[in-house]
Amino acid sequence: MAFRGRETMDFRFTEEQEMTAGVVRDLLADLCQPADLRRLMESGDARDANRWEKISEMGLAGALVGEEIGGLGLRPVDFVLVAEACGYACLPEPLVENAGIALPLLASLTQTGTTRFVVERALAGEITVALGHSANPFIADADTAGALLIERDSALHLVSPGDVHLSLQPSIDPFRRLFTAEGGLSEATRVAGNDEAAAKLASALDRGALFTAAQLLGIAQRCVDLAVAYARERQQFGKPIGTYQAVKHQLATAQVKIEFARPVLYAAAATIDHADRYSRARISHAKLVASEAADVAARTAIQVHGAMGYSWEVDVHFFLKRAIALTNWWGGPAFHRGRIAERVLNGELGPEHTFTHAAADA
Amino acid sequence: MAFRGRETMDFRFTEEQEMTAGVVRDLLADLCQPADLRRLMESGDARDANRWEKISEMGLAGALVGEEIGGLGLRPVDFVLVAEACGYACLPEPLVENAGIALPLLASLTQTGTTRFVVERALAGEITVALGHSANPFIADADTAGALLIERDSALHLVSPGDVHLSLQPSIDPFRRLFTAEGGLSEATRVAGNDEAAAKLASALDRGALFTAAQLLGIAQRCVDLAVAYARERQQFGKPIGTYQAVKHQLATAQVKIEFARPVLYAAAATIDHADRYSRARISHAKLVASEAADVAARTAIQVHGAMGYSWEVDVHFFLKRAIALTNWWGGPAFHRGRIAERVLNGELGPEHTFTHAAADA
Amino acid sequence: MDLTYSPDQKRFRHEVRSWMEAHVPSLPLPSFDASREGFEAHREWERTLSQGRWGMVTWPETYGGRGLDLIQWLIFEEEYYRAGAPLRVNQNGIFLLGPTLMEYGTPEQKARFLTAMASGDEIWAQAWSEPQAGSDLAAVKSSAVRDGDDYVLKGHKIWSSRAVFADWAFGLFRTDPASQRHKGLSLVFFPLDAPGVRVQPIAQIDGETGFAEIFLEDVRVPAFNRLGGEGEGWTICMATAGFERGLMLRSPARFQVAARKLVDLYKAHEHEVEPSVREAVLRSWMDTEAYALSIYSTASRLAAGGHIGAEASTNKIFWSEMDIALHKAALSILGARAELLRSAPEAGDIGRWLDGYFFSLAGPIYAGSNEIQRNIIAERMLGLPRA
Amino acid sequence: MDLTYSPDQKRFRHEVRSWMEAHVPSLPLPSFDASREGFEAHREWERTLSQGRWGMVTWPETYGGRGLDLIQWLIFEEEYYRAGAPLRVNQNGIFLLGPTLMEYGTPEQKARFLTAMASGDEIWAQAWSEPQAGSDLAAVKSSAVRDGDDYVLKGHKIWSSRAVFADWAFGLFRTDPASQRHKGLSLVFFPLDAPGVRVQPIAQIDGETGFAEIFLEDVRVPAFNRLGGEGEGWTICMATAGFERGLMLRSPARFQVAARKLVDLYKAHEHEVEPSVREAVLRSWMDTEAYALSIYSTASRLAAGGHIGAEASTNKIFWSEMDIALHKAALSILGARAELLRSAPEAGDIGRWLDGYFFSLAGPIYAGSNEIQRNIIAERMLGLPRA
């Protein structure tokens, strides 16, 4: 039931796509405000049980899983706005990593009894699947996952978290639960050999980079929004600091970065399935510029907040930390610039090739 | 008679150094204003005869030539403010190239009848010497020179401009007269073999980079000064544009660049004679940051002048063009960054090594 | 969201491509700003375009257009720049004034002016700025005094692009002498050869002309030459500025071609330059792509009935800064040759990068300085308070 | 211009080096902002310094100093940072208040406060900001009402560094209740354990405290604690700000050590990172050197009787931006490990770069935001008109 486009060059999201994202946005606006983040942090819990239940009830776990095995059969372009909303909210729970990346990978493998069982439970929202992909040195949310899907020597293994040794690798972002895993993998845990795994791991990397870019863009916009709200209220020298050109121009500069990362992100989402040098470069482009937009926006927000930006008492720091973490998640700048170089130095260039892809007849 | 310092760590210029530069500054303020540049350009002449005569009368031609052969025996640090003043004025005539670089090179060679004759005439201000150094693809002011000192296969040759074939290579800077030279060199024209030439060519390159950096710094300050003068007068929306924070902050940013290029330049001038990796890196550092300061200042000045900056009618364009040309003269950014890398990756680092040099016992 | 051209769009692209291949002059035309000869060669090209009905493809057929949508316009532009076709000497007319005329003109005005514009018979200059009114356009002092069925124009315009050789100009004039700031202004057209008009070229940093000052002394034009109502000039002018900054004036294809040339230049000198230059080159490619995608996005939205808003300002900032960075990257590859004129024997493949760099420096200034654009973004898009 | 140390200066360097080698703790002390224990360990270090008469080498011997000049101070700082000696917990006292006391204090005040400051017996917090007075310091509302020989302090201070554990604080108070803006303010000292003082730590982005809010309710201090005349607080405070931004607070050696560590980090990972990282690393080295040279230049000028002017503002902008860039370069080398806490098993050689980065982000904000500094440069150094 993938949301279909309009069958001609059209850069707008469909109403269905907008609606799905709108529902997630509304839910997170209700349940994932900075006060909620603070509460979770103080509780020491990994997840906000109530919020995660509400998210699970939306049935998004199977968003990108094929309809033939119980998913919604959506495409990445149908999910990109959801990922952006997760970034905007600084969501602690692994909606993007689970539904956007790990689960569709697991579901895409040749199914066995074990994999089918795990996929079914995950689709039902009973468990999450955490992914150990070679693009990342750590596995996020491994401890709360019901199953770990781990790449080792280019093959894929499916194990229970209890069967491997997990070491917590604490992140500056209080909501990122990173682990390294040792042991527990064997011939018996292997669910895909090298031949099958290669293309599917590559595809997971593309989704990972794409949806991480989306989250970074959401973070960037949130930082600008927080700073704008503050600049309208905070008075210095007898007027709101938002009246000063220095503040205006810094925020305008950050917004320009966002405005020109956004269409790249959406184009990357719309063309990811081509899985060629053109689509990969677009994804990498999106990841790079979304990271940069988040960096500039977060630092600008800190600066606009003045001393306050340096404290726990304002909310910017949550977004600054997430931005730092995601910049290197699913490939850092060097990796993605390398993919762009490959496309620029070896691919077709020029205005007629904006939408070129390997299979295109244009 | 080199102007002596105060025999202890002291970053100030001596009174003699300030005075020499002051005289040059005053002369150029009188005779080398933009109106004078326009007049020279319209005349089509290579030099302003009156100005050049006044400059020659100051006796600066032999500034860096040893006293034993009739020069003033000054050190580069005594000349750096003069070079800065030449940049500030956008001086068309080759005071820096002749007195600062070419002539001291020629005078430093083992003297023969020919070289002595040329040096004497040059010291008397009758001719200039133009230098063809492998660091530059062109020879500046070759057509108006009385003699050409040309590096070829690591040896040095002295020839008359009439004995080689000169091809004009027109520059965007109307006052830069660049040439390539062909033919005319032979065993008979050689005035220094490879062994003698190597160190002296290296030393000329250091002086070239140093004094070019000085000119770039002068250019940068002039651009800021021109823009400030304009911003105080020009009205938009009912007040001088200099009252707007956007204009203020751009100019402040340019001035900060200048302020932190200046001490590097002066330190480079003071330590050039060490001729080691430390002094070379300092010179290269000065060249890089002076280029950047000139670039930022010139572009800021264009922006502050609004549409006017784009026209011949305001003066900024003279400085913009000179900055573009000098950025690559006596080594471009890649060359100089390479020398800095050599020092940073292989030399001593840390706060106790700010003034370290190979011969230091500190 | 569907980023695949429809079969019709593909057919259209091939149609444009074939026509361009058959008609684009094989040698570059001489500059339209440097000589009358170059200007007339470009006028000839406008006529050729017009004969193929390619003068302005989005205009209705009545005025010489094809009534195409913005996506087709983008495809047209891509093929136009891909073919290396000449710059549009009539861009002030077709991109700036044209859309405004279409919206605010009377049927008689449209018939009179649009057709001649599309055909290349009348080339237009803009006359926005005045010596004391640059980014602050509301400070114009030039006046248009009503006298029967005519206006009598008086004043001094500056930075008028194309005015040296063009046929007509449009500009703001104060029709109410007692008015202040943006009240009491009207948009009026005048022929550049009318009695009382004196055009004075302004020499530019790159040595070419292109811009001019216009001195108007009792220039008499019929009231028919006023676009929109008396005193409505400011509103109309703001709409025009929207078009200018927003979409039409800087089509992405132009920058994408520049980025392709930059990549070629980089490949030819890859081993002589610093590794960081590679990043600058990739950045320029990324930026031109982002700009193209952004314009496609806007075009899709406009096609569905949307309006262009503060994104006109984000576009202006983005392309002007991108254009400078792109040219700086090229100059850094050229190194010591960057300062040479193209006539230099050693110029080699220096191309027009230095000219382009000087031109790019004007980008953040004209069509509303980037300082003004940042104010607009902060106030209208982000909702920050006015000072 | 002579950039060679004199024999005396070299001897002095060796003297400092020997002493540091003998006294600097071999293990880093725990943070003075994170715990009372760390704070007291640093106080102990201040006492050790003081016993060696290294507490504040530029102060007169009467107050525990050595009466040395600024070049010697720079040499001392170089050796101090070279040795990896602890950060100065009393920097608010010795670098900010100390020089001001020296200039404006009565002999009795100097005797009372300077000696205890140099000895480490009294550690100082600053209390500049208030909730509604950040960069706009003249907006302070806290009051000091004269009552006989005392002042009674009331108000709310914020962003007071060291206030959590320190002994004393200094701040601006409105001594004339009818006054506006920077008139009617006085600089007053108060003990942080005085009745009516409540100190509330502010949690920072890096999880440490360090800053605090101070609530003052009818805190009674003798008039002796007022520095300078009543109502002269603003003038004196501006002088202090000059010292803070100008020279003392951020000695170049600190950044040069950071640059050296950055180069080491780069060398260890040279083959894993993008070529452009090399440029960022070289840039950081260049900037820290430029900063050091600039301070030497200023020190030479001051030694010859000059005064520090708007260059205090250029320094502030330069070091704060350099500090951010330096830490960003380090994070880019660390890549995916950059987000780890040092306690992570995989942390490896990540060091304190992330902490340092967060700290660097405060640089453009405190001690007068960089926006304010740019205004100062534009108006006082370049002579642009005030708005």
A320 pLDDT higher than 70: yes
- Looking at domain C125-231, its CATH architecture is Beta Barrel (2.40)
Per-residue pLDDT tens digits for A220-246: 999 999 999 999 998 877 889 899 888
Decide if B166 touches D, using CB distance below 8 A: no
Q: Coil, helix or strand for C74?
A: helix
Per-residue pLDDT tens digits for B215-254: 999 999 999 999 999 999 988 878 898 998 889 999 999 9
State how far the Cα of D123 lies from the Cα of D47, in Å rounded to an integer. 11
Per-residue pLDDT tens digits for B270-326: 999 999 999 999 999 999 999 999 999 999 999 998 865 566 668 899 999 999 999
Domain extent listing, chain A: 199-361
Sole residue written with tokens 């062909």: B182
Per-residue model confidence (pLDDT) at position A5:
45
Mutate to test the interface with A, among D135, D205, D211 (most CBs of A within 10 A): D205
Which residues of D are tagged catalytic? 244
Exposure b/e, C102-121, CB count within 10 A at least 16 = b: bebbeeebbebbbbbbbbbe
Q: Mean pLDDT throughout D231-238? A: 85
Domain extent listing, chain C: 7-89, 125-231, 250-381
| C244 has catalytic annotation | yes
D61 pLDDT higher than 80: yes
C246 pLDDT higher than 70: no
B1 pLDDT higher than 80: no
Strands B190-192 and B178-182: unpaired
CB–CB contact B237 C129 (8 Å): no
Nearest to C339 among B172, B313, B337 (CB): B172
Residues in chain C with CB shorter than 8 Å from the CB of A349 are 256, 259-260, 263, 285
Per-residue model confidence (pLDDT) at position B267:
98
ipTM beyond cut 0.90: yes
Cα A128-A213-A102 angle, rounded to 5 deg: 20
Per-residue model confidence (pLDDT) at position D241:
61
Contact A328, D221 (CB under 8 A): no
Q: Mean pLDDT throughout B96-125? A: 96
Mutate to test the interface with C, among B292, B311, B336 (most CBs of C within 10 A): B311
User: Number of A:D CB contacts under 8 A?
Assistant: 108
Mean pLDDT of chain A: 93
Per-residue pLDDT tens digits for C287-336: 999 999 999 999 888 888 877 778 888 999 999 999 999 999 999 999 99
Lowest mean pLDDT among C6-15, C41-50, D230-239: D230-239
Residue B194 has which token pair? Answer: 């490879």
Per-residue model confidence (pLDDT) at position C368:
77
Decide if B3 touches A, using CB distance below 8 A: no
Give the percent of chain C with pLDDT over 90.
65
Exposure b/e, D365-382, CB count within 10 A at least 16 = b: bbbbbbbbbbbbbbbebb
Alpha helices per DSSP H over D122-184: none
Q: Mean pLDDT throughout D56-65? A: 89
Residues in chain B with CB shorter than 8 Å from the CB of D386 are 243
Per-residue pLDDT tens digits for D310-344: 888 899 999 999 999 999 999 999 999 999 998 99
Q: C96 or B299, which is more confident?
A: B299
Per-residue pLDDT tens digits for C345-374: 999 999 999 989 988 998 888 777 888 899
Per-residue pLDDT tens digits for C115-137: 899 899 999 999 988 887 766 77
B348 pLDDT higher than 60: yes
B278: phi then psi, degrees, rounded to nearest 5: -70, -45
Per-residue model confidence (pLDDT) at position B170:
94
Contact D324, D356 (CB under 8 A): no
State how far the Cα of B143 lies from the Cα of B179, in Å rounded to an integer. 8
Exposure b/e, A9-27, CB count within 10 A at least 16 = b: bbbbbbeebeebbeebbeb
Sole residue written with tokens 């230099």: C344
Name the fold adopted by D250-381: Butyryl-CoA Dehydrogenase, subunit A; domain 3 (1.20.140)
Nearest to D344 among A170, A247, A312 (CB): A170
State how far the Cα of D130 lies from the Cα of D213, in Å rounded to an integer. 9
CB–CB contact D132 A235 (8 Å): yes
Q: Say yes or no: domain A199-361 is CATH 1.20.140.10.
A: yes
C120: phi then psi, degrees, rounded to nearest 5: 85, 0
Nearest to B303 among C203, C358, C364 (CB): C364
State how far the Cα of A219 lies from the Cα of C41, in Å rounded to an integer. 52
* pLDDT band per the 50, 70, 90 thresholds, residue A2: very low
